[in-house]
Structure 1
Amino acid sequence: MNDYRKIKDIFIEGNKFDYVNLTQSVMAYKKLTEALKKPLKLILLYGKPGTGKTFLLTKLYNDLKKKYPIIFFPTPFFDENEFLAAIYKKIFKQEPPKTDSFDAFFKFFINKMNKESISPITILIDEAQLYPPALIEKIRLMADTRKFKFLFTVHKTDEEDVLAKDYFKTRIWETIEIKSISIEELKLYLEKKLVYHNLFNYLSLLHEPQYKLIHKFAKGNLRETNKLLYKTFEICEYYENNEPKKLNPKKLKSKFLEMAALDLRIIDD
């Protein structure tokens, strides 16, 4: 008998797993580390939601924080003074002075960095598409001082290409895209995930039709893949406890993926 509860739980959102082993992530990570070595002021990592941008930024921060000055802001700022104050506190480990304006604060900030011989700081910014245009403009001015290097992540959506926005289009020095995963990468992802959780024997439940259906419903998106499979195995768990004869212990029936997709409103009736 299969333990669908155990399989289901490995797909809980937020479950830590090394996506970097996937080809797309490996290539993007390598490009990012190379870009950060160059004298670039602004770098952009973009891709559709759920492609692993935040994970890459987090890994990059953890890998580099002991090598040189680096700051990571996983949540967005909407006020320029709060943004600058947060950087100040990260660098100097103290509360910032009170000033009349952003410009006055920034001037004081740069002078203090010069006096204390502070090395240029790399700042990683997630969800940059949520930042107000006025703050993005201030960030560009900060980058112009060569005291700061910024790496943004932004969502690329079907409705709006953020790269077309004026404040990204003309000012980014290097852009790196992380794309949705292919069916082959999906297979590799699920294989590694099951191996990581000592559940490799359950990989035999999935066959080519199921992989194609998962890829179709989740659109090559890791986050949506996890949601879909969590719901699928939750449904299987119900049948295992109530109507076990409707389950095939050697193969995941496609209808359970379809039921999960309906429940998640990925597809219509």
Structure 2
Amino acid sequence: MYEAHFGLNQPPFSLSPDTALFVRLDDHEACYQLLTHVLDTGEGFLKVVGDVGTGKTILCRRLLRFLSDDEAARNRFYSVYIPNPMLSPVGLYRAVGRELGLESPRPSDNAALLEHINQQILNLAQQPRGVVIVVDEAQSLPPATLEALRLITNLETEQQKLVQVILFGQPELDELLDQNRFRQLRQRITFAHYLKPLSRTAVRQYLDFRLTQSGYNGPTLISDRSIKRLHQLSGGIPRMINVLTHKALLSAFADQRRQLNPGDFDRAWRDSKPEPTRLHSRLALIAATSALILLALVSAWSLL
């Protein structure tokens, strides 16, 4: 809607995880370098933890793109992507089997499926290629399925692990792993990275890169005062930055302005806040009425 007005060739703040718009922020770049280092050294488990909207999914997609597009990585690793971890152990084994090229594994019990998968992993190791299992939203893994995933990683030779696992999850992932039943798995997680919200400087870098990649070539579109306000409202969370900046661009476009101001982000914030439900509104009205009645009683009492 506003692209032509601002000289853009695409929406710069879409919520879809477009790796072409991946910004090499210090924290995200450090996480990506850790991911590739862990793959290179053959460590068994790695976890990436971040709150909602901090950029886990786009990091996950960038890693998967590296594994599929980089020739050296493609020759060395066979990637398995589990985007929906709400699976039973049998469901997990079937999903992994399909990703490994086992079209329709016949066995239906856990042990037989695991043996079928292990044999395929051993076959791939002859090429030689290791298997990388990437799990997004890993905090949603049922405990039994997480244990099933651990059993897949038991396969190894005297020289190396044949299966590596990278878990992307929200902070609840740590709560899941803290259970005593997963103490063996915790010992295998040799590296972890915790994604942090963006600083104000990083917010500027994030916005400028996405605008430039989307075709913007003009004077400063978002002033320092506006950046400060955006940082305050978004808390430095990339997803909220995308939502608020998209709506702020719409606000400026509606006024036919070519620069965003703090008021645009205030409007975007008000528009993004959830409306109170009727129940909440009634409760608020009851509370206010009760407070007025109590105040009137206190005033009347003081006059006696």
**TM-score, length-normalised on structure 2?**
0.74
- Any conservation in 2 of the 1:181–1:220 contact (CA below 8 Å)? yes
Larger relative CO (CA 8 A, sep 6+): 1 or 2?
1
Superposed CA RMSD? 2.8
1:102 CA displacement: 0.6
Q: Indicate yes or no: 2:111 matched with 1:126.
A: no
Deviates more, 1:88-97 or 1:11-20: 11-20
Choose which of 136, 145, 152 in structure 1 pairs with 2:155: 145
Change (3 A) 1:5 1:224: farther
1:263 CA displacement: 0.8
1:27 CA displacement: 0.9
1:15 CA displacement: 6.7
Q: Give the equivalent residue in structure 2 for 1:243.
A: none
Gaps of 5+ in 1: 241-246
Pairing 1:57-68 to 2, within 5 Å after superposition: 57-65=60-68, 66-67=74-75, 68=77
- SS, match of residue 100 in structure 2: helix
- Any conservation in 2 of the 1:125–1:152 contact (CA below 8 Å)? yes
- Any conservation in 2 of the 1:46–1:153 contact (CA below 8 Å)? yes
Q: Give the equivalent residue in structure 2 for 1:91.
A: 100
- SS, match of residue 218 in structure 2: helix
Choose which of 210, 215, 232 in structure 2 pairs with 1:216: 232
Choose which of 32, 38, 46 in structure 2 pairs with 1:29: 32
- SS, match of residue 260 in structure 2: coil
1:20 CA displacement: 4.2
- SS, match of residue 149 in structure 1: strand
Deviations 1:51-80 (Å, cap 9, x if unpaired)? 221111211122123232122222324221
Aligned-partner Cα distance in 2 for 1:42–1:32: 10
Pairing 1:163-174 to 2, within 5 Å after superposition: 165-166=178-179, 167=182, 169=186, 171-174=188-191
Q: Give the equivalent residue in structure 1 for 2:217.
A: 200
Deviations 1:190-246 (Å, cap 9, x if unpaired)? 1111211221315x2322221111111111111110100111121222233xxxxxx
The amino acid that maps onto 1:131 is: L
- SS, match of residue 49 in structure 1: coil
Pairing 1:47-126 to 2, within 5 Å after superposition: 47-65=50-68, 66-67=74-75, 68-99=77-108, 101-114=109-122, 119-126=129-136
Change (3 A) 1:175 1:41: same
Change (3 A) 1:171 1:115: closer
1:107 CA displacement: 2.4
Choose which of 238, 242, 245 in structure 2 pairs with 1:226: 242
Aligned-partner Cα distance in 1 for 2:38–2:17: 29
Q: Give the equivalent residue in structure 2 for 1:9.
A: 11
- Any conservation in 2 of the 1:8–1:234 contact (CA below 8 Å)? no
Change (3 A) 1:163 1:82: closer
The amino acid that maps onto 1:165 is: D
Choose which of 259, 264, 269 in structure 1 pairs with 2:267: 259
Change (3 A) 1:139 1:129: same
Q: Give the equivalent residue in structure 2 for 1:244.
A: none
Q: Give the equivalent residue in structure 2 for 1:155.
A: 170
Structure of larger gyration radius:
2
The amino acid that maps onto 1:231 is: K
Aligned-partner Cα distance in 2 for 1:219–1:254: 15
Q: Give the equivalent residue in structure 1 for 2:41.
A: 38
**TM-score, length-normalised on structure 1?**
0.83
1:116 CA displacement: 6.8
- Any conservation in 1 of the 2:32–2:59 contact (CA below 8 Å)? yes
Aligned-partner Cα distance in 2 for 1:98–1:163: 29
Aligned-partner Cα distance in 1 for 2:14–2:163: 37
